[in-house]
Amino acid sequence: MSDIIHTSNAAVPLGAYPHARKAGNLLFLSGIGPRNAADNSIPGLHLADDGSILQYDIEAECHAVFANVKSVLEASGSSWDKIVDVTVFLTNMKKDFPIYNKIYGEYFRDVQACRTTVEIKSLPTPIAIELKVIALLD
């Protein structure tokens, strides 16, 4: 199996990078967002004609980003329970943290991965959340 992972079950990367890369018994995922693999749509997102965000749904984006991370983990030979570290990027900490934190707790209750959550001004597409993950391999 290749050390570089690409999967059709997660959105196509926006640049010259893989979905994940193996190094020894560690798996490093590139930044993963909530974009849909089939049509590149973002769940709950409504844009104005000029491309500005009219409305977004952080709950829908959380579920979608976690599903994308799971798809990349599985395509790489790892699994959700092998996540050891998560960096989360939110574009609106004050508004979105309570909802994200609740949903995160549901998904990660038994995983107990280390976590860092930071607010950033924007992401490359009009998404509100992105995850950077490190997991173990068998």
Mind listing the pLDDT tens digit for each residue in 64-106? 999 999 999 999 999 999 999 999 999 999 999 999 999 999 9
Q: Which amino acid is at 50?
A: D
Q: How many CA atoms lie within 13 A of 136 on its CB side?
A: 6
Query: How many domains does the chain fold into?
Result: 1
CB 29 within 8 A of CB 19: yes
Q: What's the whole-model pTM score?
A: 0.94
Determine which helix (DSSP H) or strand (DSSP E) holds 23, and give its type and residue range: strand 20-23
CATH number at residue 99: 3.30.1330.40
Domain that holds residue 34: 4-136
Structure confidence by residue, pLDDT tens digits, 15-24: 888 999 999 9
CB 24 within 8 A of CB 136: no
